[in-house]
Amino acid sequence: CMGPSMLPTFNMDGDIVAIEHLSKRYKRLSVGDVVVCISPVNPGRAVCKRILGMEGDHVCEDPTLREVERKYIDVPEGHVWLSGDNLSNSNDSRTYGPVPYGLIRGRVFARVWPDPGWIANNFLPYTSYP
Amino acid sequence: MTSRLWSNPNARAAIKTLTWFPLLFFFLENGYSTATVQGRSMQPTFNPDSNKLSPDIVLLSHWGAIGHKFQRGEVVAMTSPHNPDLTITKRIIALEGDSVRPLPQSDQKSVVYVPKGHCWVEGDERFHSRDSNAFGTVPMGLINSKVVYILWPLSRFGKVEVKPNVERVSAGSVDSMRL
């Protein structure tokens, strides 16, 4: 992994992660998974981002904008919406739009180095606030 | 125990044959493989006669697609942007930096600029093809392989031609300022 877009989950440089390919093949990816996919802007490059919306979901395009400026979008069929954890410095679906599912290469399930540990999907189901 | 297995000539032949499998698998995944073409979207290049019972069989080259260097007019096989289980064959009409005029029946704008890392693909049969006229530019990372040869039927055996389309494409160099 390289780049600041997934801080603090991954460092800017030098992290080695483990990827599994079974989830994408059997359609077990879900919102909140960290995935590696081929960049839509540069086919020779891979990017590491988190899935924020699967096909059919209604996602907020840019949560860093103020409430009144936010736009919402429906993720089209066969696409996913990717987002880096470090929203202040991340080139993700806010820049290049929804990404076709066919570009995803695998799901990151563990960090091997420098701090070995599982990478979990920490997203909780949405419950409305009282 | 292993030496007893090795002294059995049948087992030895079987094991020696099995050692070729990883090499064969690697070759088929990353070198050349064959595929059948279904559907009418690439008529008359593939399946020109819709009434025939057997669809065309073509040779795919994965080597050629790895460097992501394509020419306008090449036929490629790619994962469909709307259905990741489907592989579609289309012809590349425009590369990044070009401006394309979509066909009249599409609901795209009148001139589409192909952004960096994307391409515009069309089927040869314009009225029976779900291609970029329907879903817009596609990222080049979705392209798996180039379709290089038609293997079956033998009457049309031969290289798949590269047919660039100059009428509706104005080629531009990739201008980093416009990205």
B25 and B75 co-located in one domain: no
pLDDT reported for residue B179? 36
Tell whether B142 is covered by a domain: yes
B57 and B119 co-located in one domain: yes
B50 and B133 co-located in one domain: yes
Using a pLDDT cut of 90, give the percent of chain B over it.
11
Cα distance between residue A46 and residue A49, in whole Å: 10
What is the total count of domains within chain B? 2
Tell whether B179 is covered by a domain: no
Residue B153 sits in a domain whose CATH number is 2.10.109.10
Q: What's phi and psi for A43, nearest 5 deg?
A: -65, -10
B62 and B11 co-located in one domain: no
Closest Cβ–Cβ partner in A40, A76, A77 for B141: A40
Check pLDDT > 50 for residue B25: yes
pLDDT 10s digits, B69-83: 888 888 999 999 988
B79 and B19 co-located in one domain: no
pLDDT band at B172 (very low <50, low <70, confident <90, very high): low
More confident residue, B44 or A71: A71
B72 and B129 co-located in one domain: yes
Tell whether B108 is covered by a domain: yes
Indicate if B159 belongs to the active site: no
The single residue listed with the structure tokens 């780049």 is A3
Tell whether B175 is covered by a domain: no
**Chain-chain contact of B139 with A43 (C-beta, under 8 angstroms):** yes
Q: Which domain holds residue B85?
A: 32-170
B128 and B65 co-located in one domain: yes
Tell whether B178 is covered by a domain: no
Tell whether B176 is covered by a domain: no
Judged by a CB distance cut-off of 8 A, whether residue B79 touches chain A is: yes
Residues of chain A with pLDDT under 50: none
B95 and B7 co-located in one domain: no
B89 and B20 co-located in one domain: no
Q: Give the count of Cβ contacts less than 8 A between chain A and B.
A: 49
CA distance A98 to chain B (A): 11
pLDDT band at B68 (very low <50, low <70, confident <90, very high): confident
More confident residue, B143 or A119: B143
Tell whether B18 is covered by a domain: yes
| Helix count and strand count (H, E) for chain A | 2, 9
pLDDT reported for residue A49? 92
| Contact (Cβ atoms closer than 8 angstroms) between residue B141 and residue A101 | no
Q: Give this prediction's pTM.
A: 0.78
Tell whether B177 is covered by a domain: no
CA distance B120 to chain A (A): 14
Which of B74-78, B138-142, B150-154 is predicted with the least confidence, judged by mean pLDDT?
B150-154
